[in-house]
């Protein structure tokens, strides 16, 4: 079942092959055939996430660990001075959704497990420790470009929304133009509510502002962008 869940190829073909039945290699109907996946090497990212879990002594859950490697700002990151950590922002090139996918893969693959209490702390298994000492190739299937681009656009949108919320508190009466959720065209693809929420735990930090500055300038007057940049 675990192999089935991680199978990058046609699921119908995988099941029939398991029972020794001949079938076409693609059915064009299962979730794997319908979504465009690509296989990516994630060994380095997995190693970084394991290192980050170790660096916080396995005392935190997924949200904090992923915010740490993503380089997000949150109350907890600041509270524990994790923006000083050697792991802070090491995987900033990934979207939050991609990082969540990699972590989910790590749990499914038995490298990491979560505690069964309400804290859901991340604990490294013996298999995870062995991998950390001697990393090997690890591949995972991932949504292809268009969907990844949409996830990245969602990240920016959530960053903007967080900044807008801060702004409205910091600069009373500032006239803020409204902005639309960015949309990457792809046949009928819309970001799910869950996906949008997933990106929602990022707060706009200084580095994030730099990243989205050009976009920010399109939606806010210049003096407001300046005020935000210097106040965060
Ligand atoms: Zn299929």
Provide the pLDDT confidence category of residue 200 given band limits of 50, 70 and 90: very low
pLDDT at residue 39 is higher than 60: yes
pLDDT at 198: 45
pLDDT at 81: 95
Average pLDDT over residues 187-194: 47
Domain encompassing residue 218:
147-230
- Residue 138 Cα, ligand 1 centroid: separation in angstroms? 23
- Determine the straight-line distance between the first and last CA of the chain, rounded to whole angstroms: 47
pLDDT at residue 181 is higher than 60: no
User: Under 8 Å CB-to-CB from 133, ≥6 apart: which residues?
Assistant: none
Q: Which residue has the higher pLDDT, 178 or 96?
A: 96
- Residue 95 Cα, ligand 1 centroid: separation in angstroms? 27
Q: Do both 124 and 179 map to the same domain?
A: no
- Residue 14 Cα, ligand 1 centroid: separation in angstroms? 9
- Residue 198 Cα, ligand 1 centroid: separation in angstroms? 28
- Span 107-154, pLDDT tens digits: 999 999 999 999 999 999 999 999 999 999 999 887 775 555 666 667
Provide the CATH number for the domain around residue 64: 1.10.10.10
Question: What protein residues have CB closer than 5 angstroms to ion ligand 1?
Answer: 10, 12, 27, 30, 33
- Longest CA pairwise span in the chain (Å): 69
pLDDT at residue 186 is higher than 60: no
Helix (H, G, I), strand (E, B) or coil at 7: coil
Dump the DSSP string for 180-200: PPP----TT----HHHHHHGG
pLDDT at 142: 77
- Residue 68 Cα, ligand 1 centroid: separation in angstroms? 37
Average pLDDT of the chain is 79
* pTM, rounded to two decimals: 0.55
Average pLDDT over residues 151-179: 66
Q: Do both 117 and 162 map to the same domain?
A: no
Q: Do both 44 and 137 map to the same domain?
A: yes
pLDDT at 115: 95
Nearest residue to 102 (alpha-carbon basis) of 154, 70, 140: 140
- Residue 34 Cα, ligand 1 centroid: separation in angstroms? 7
Tokens of 153: 């656009």
Query: Which among 95, 116, 143 is the end of a domain?
Result: 143
pLDDT at 10: 84
- Residue 98 Cα, ligand 1 centroid: separation in angstroms? 23
- Residue 15 Cα, ligand 1 centroid: separation in angstroms? 10
Work out how many domains the chain is built from and give that number: 3
pLDDT at residue 172 is higher than 80: no
- Residue 13 Cα, ligand 1 centroid: separation in angstroms? 6
Q: Do both 8 and 100 map to the same domain?
A: no
Segments of the chain assigned E as strands: 37-41, 112-114, 122-124, 139-143
pLDDT at 185: 47
Tokens of 98: 């991609």
Q: Do both 136 and 57 map to the same domain?
A: yes
pLDDT at 83: 95
Q: Which residue has the higher pLDDT, 70 or 34?
A: 70
pLDDT at residue 25 is higher than 70: yes
Q: Do both 105 and 63 map to the same domain?
A: yes
Q: Do both 53 and 113 map to the same domain?
A: yes
CA atoms of 171 and 228, how far apart (whole Å): 9
pLDDT at 218: 64
């Amino acid at each position: 079942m675990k192999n089935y869940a991680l199978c990058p190829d046609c699921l119908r073909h995988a099941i029939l092959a398991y029972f020794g039945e001949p079938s076409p290699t693609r059915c064009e109907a299962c979730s794997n055939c319908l979504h465009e996946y690509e296989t990516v090497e994630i060994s380095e990212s997995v190693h970084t996430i394991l290192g980050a879990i170790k660096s916080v002594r396995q005392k935190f859950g997924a949200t904090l660990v992923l915010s740490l490697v993503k380089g997000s700002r949150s109350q907890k990151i600041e509270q524990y001075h994790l923006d000083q950590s050697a792991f802070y922002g090491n995987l900033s090139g990934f979207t939050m959704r991609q990082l969540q996918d990699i972590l989910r893969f790590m749990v499914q693959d038995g490298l990491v497990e979560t505690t069964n209490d309400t804290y859901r702390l991340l604990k490294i298994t013996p298999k995870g420790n062995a991998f950390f000492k001697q990393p090997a190739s690890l591949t995972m299937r991932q949504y292809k470009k268009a969907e990844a681009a949409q996830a990245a656009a969602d990240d920016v949108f959530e960053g903007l929304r967080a900044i807008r919320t801060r702004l409205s508190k910091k600069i009373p009466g500032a006239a803020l133009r409204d902005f639309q959720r960015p949309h990457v065209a792809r046949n009928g693809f819309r970001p799910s509510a869950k996906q949008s929420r997933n990106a929602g735990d990022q707060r706009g930090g200084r580095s994030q502002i730099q990243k989205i500055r050009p976009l920010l300038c399109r939606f806010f007057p210049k003096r407001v962008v300046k005020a935000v940049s210097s106040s965060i």
